[in-house]
């Protein structure tokens, strides 16, 4: 009996993971660094990492709205302009895109591989 419960739980976890994966692919564009560079200057560029990470280095022109604060700071993000998101590796920016989509945002773009793969100009606090 316990084995069937374990198998059932594993199947549910896999199904939920696949659902989130395909949902994310549907609601956002995952962009290469080159594609990201082409559009982020005409968009809202948002770094969803925590402030200490942001201060350590961020893409030039980015605003810091950490994922942990995003629900309370939605008024800072316009719905009528494209949103370009990034985090350290891509996981938090995907979660941020899903949250924004639930709140009615549509043009959502995420940097593939996150900030750790970025080779362009950065700014950091001294």
Per-residue pLDDT band at 24 (split at 50, 70, 90): low
According to the model, what pLDDT value does residue 22 have? 67
Interatomic CA distance for residues 69 and 30, integer angstroms: 23
**What average pLDDT does range 70-76 have in this prediction?**
97
Please give the Cα distance from 65 to 73 (Å, whole number). 7
The DSSP result for 6-30, as a single string, is HHHHHHHHHHHHHHHHHHHHHH-EE
Expressed as residue numbers, the domain containing 105 is 28-123
CA distance 48 to 3: 40
- pLDDT, tens digit (0-9, with 9 covering 90-100), for 51-65: 999 999 999 999 999
Residue 49 placed within a domain: yes
pLDDT for 126 beyond 70: no
> Mean pLDDT over residues 33-59, rounded?
95
Domain count, the chain: 1
Whether 12 is in a domain gets the answer no
In this structure, is residue 9 part of a structural domain?
Answer: no
Q: The CATH number of the domain where 49 resides is what?
A: 3.40.250.10
């Amino acid at each position: 009996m316990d084995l069937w419960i374990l198998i059932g739980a594993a199947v549910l976890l896999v199904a939920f993971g696949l659902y989130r994966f395909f949902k994310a692919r549907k609601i956002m564009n995952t962009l290469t660094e080159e594609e990201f560079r082409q559009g982020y200057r005409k968009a809202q560029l948002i770094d969803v990492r925590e402030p200490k990470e942001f201060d350590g280095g961020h893409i030039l022109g980015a605003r810091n709205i950490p994922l942990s604060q995003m629900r309370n700071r939605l008024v800072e993000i316009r719905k009528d302009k494209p949103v370009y998101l990034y985090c350290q590796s891509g996981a938090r920016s995907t979660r941020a895109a899903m949250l924004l989509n639930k709140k009615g945002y549509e043009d959502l773009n995420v940097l593939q591989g996150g900030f750790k793969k970025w080779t362009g100009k950065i700014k950091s606090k001294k």
